[in-house]
A and B are shown apart, each in its own frame.
Chain A
Amino acid sequence: MSYVMAGTAATLFGLGTYLLLQRKLSRIIIGLSLLSHGANVLFVNSGRSGVAPFVGKGDAADMADPIPQALVLTAIVISFATTTLLLALAYRSWLLTDDDEVDDDVEDRVIGRHGHLDTEVSDEAALAAAVSVAAEEELPDGHEPEVVP
């Protein structure tokens, strides 16, 4: 039994991680819920299995460990709430961009562009291409990129 549960948890973690690495927000969200399912399955499995733990219903040594089950309920509720919030965020993002791709890191591009322009570029064509790519990128607070030829 325990091997089946461990295998399930491992599969869920694997699938979740794969989906988390995609660029579509919808896949990332599904990946995250798979990850938390994996963690929940793992947690349920961390206690002893056995008969239902009621006082007076059999020997205490045969009973399942109720603590992980109680704890997992809390964890499930938390992951439910956060997934809902994440879906709302993704919807907002879709409304704003008409797309559920994750954007490039804008600030990272800005820094990268500084570094690129700082180094001496011997190939004029490559520099011109880099500058035009940089100029097309949308920058925060609408400030125009300084184009240094």
Chain B
Amino acid sequence: MHIKVLGPGCANCVNLEKNTRAALASLGMEASVEKVTDYADIAGYGIMRTPGLVVDEQVVLSGRVAKPAEIAQLLAGR
């Protein structure tokens, strides 16, 4: 599984990455987490409000920092 955290580096993006790693840990899953900070790339995913979360090239969340439990749900369903 390949996860991308989209955001130019503001506090929200950092928090989303942290929560994503916590969700992965709680599920006992292994995945690569990549940060995407380039605006053209972010916009390319159709995201207009950062932060965004992309799992295997599918946008699963945008515009807010979800709690680890919610992210775990999103990840477990894949």
Do A and B originate from a single complex?
no
| Chain B residues in the interface with A (C-beta under 8 A) | none
